[in-house]
Amino acid sequence: MIHQCAVIAYGFRYYYMPGLKHILSTFTLIPHRHRCSYLPSPSLVSLSSSFHLPNPDNLSRFLTGNLTGNCPFFKMERSWSGSGVNKNKAMVEHLQHYGVITSKKVSEVMETIDRACFVPDGTPPYVDSPMAIGYNATISAPHMHATCLQLLEENLKPGMHALDIGSGTGYLTACFALMVGPQGRAVGVEHIPELVVSSIQNIEKSAAAPLLKEGSLSVHVGDGRKGWPEFAPYDAIHVGAAAPEIPQALIDQLKPGGRMVIPVGNIFQDLKVVDKNQDGSLSIWSETSVRYVPLTSRDAQLRGW
């Protein structure tokens, strides 16, 4: 059985075999619901001459997913990209193999929406890593998309309304649209106009194109912190950037019985799951530790925060 751990590294989650358990003994355990997440100890320097982890001076590079050296996690990552993972279906099968995807519905949707339609030209689309898309923005790694889709699956049934904040290249918005179907509504909100234009072009090349044409899928220019009231309330809300706190506008636009998935924090971030109860009260829990770009204004993002 494959054990699962999350390493804070720009939204990466790594899945390791039991044989690697001793390596993780130097990480600090932070309990989370369903999964165990590990953060590097502040005093961590290295384990051996062949396996180096970041010292405190390099911690910021580690947190942004730029760890180098002979780390077995990254060896696993490189083996994915160098061993025939060149098709969308194969990418999904790898995520299933490593225990990332357990839902049949999520695997079907991710196989149907080809990630290659949503990454910049010249970028390897099927590597399990976030990719820069310009304007100081990224498209999340496939395992993070899978994680969020599974967390929201019960709130993405046919006929439901879904909101994708920081929709970027449009990938997850297209997945939402496929899940809620033509009787539902999938809405993407992105504050970079150029990304909205290109995301619509991406969707037009994907299996979600008919839903875009029919109008049940739409992408809008706007400040995601304010949500998109026009089609509220939403059964599902996904936020693709880290907020210092959960925006009240998004809570207000979440339907009773609905669920929001949002990374919260600054340097240290948790992927929060927010359930709105029928009486309007909230149940909030942390799924795992993550690292996302900040949820901020358009000008701040373009300046590099």
Maximum Cα–Cα distance across the chain: 58
pTM of the complete model: 0.76
Query: What confidence score (pLDDT) does residue 87 get?
Result: 87
Measured CA to CA, the distance from residue 16 to residue 38 in angstroms comes to 12
Is the distance from CB of 232 to CB of 170 less than 8 angstroms?
no
Which tens digit of pLDDT belongs to each residue from 248-265?
A: 999 999 999 999 999 999
- Residue written as token pair 């999904």: 92
Which tens digit of pLDDT belongs to each residue from 27-63?
A: 333 334 433 333 333 332 222 223 233 333 333 333 3
Q: What are phi and psi of 152, to 5 degrees?
A: -100, 0
Query: What confidence score (pLDDT) does residue 243 get?
Result: 96
Measured CA to CA, the distance from residue 221 to residue 173 in angstroms comes to 14
- Please say if the pLDDT value at position 168 is more than 50: yes
Measured CA to CA, the distance from residue 200 to residue 167 in angstroms comes to 11
Candidates 107, 140, 206, 216; catalytic one = 140
Query: What confidence score (pLDDT) does residue 305 get?
Result: 67
140 catalytic, yes or no?
Answer: yes
Query: Does 229 or 22 have the greater pLDDT score?
Result: 229
- Please say if the pLDDT value at position 67 is more than 90: no
Question: In 3-state terms, what secondary structure has residue 182?
Answer: coil
Question: In 3-state terms, what secondary structure has residue 108?
Answer: helix
Query: What confidence score (pLDDT) does residue 285 get?
Result: 96
At 136, list the tokens: 């100081």
Query: What confidence score (pLDDT) does residue 86 get?
Result: 63
Q: Is 26 exposed, middle or buried (0-12, 13-18, 19+ CB in 10 A)?
A: middle
Say which amino acid occupies 66: N
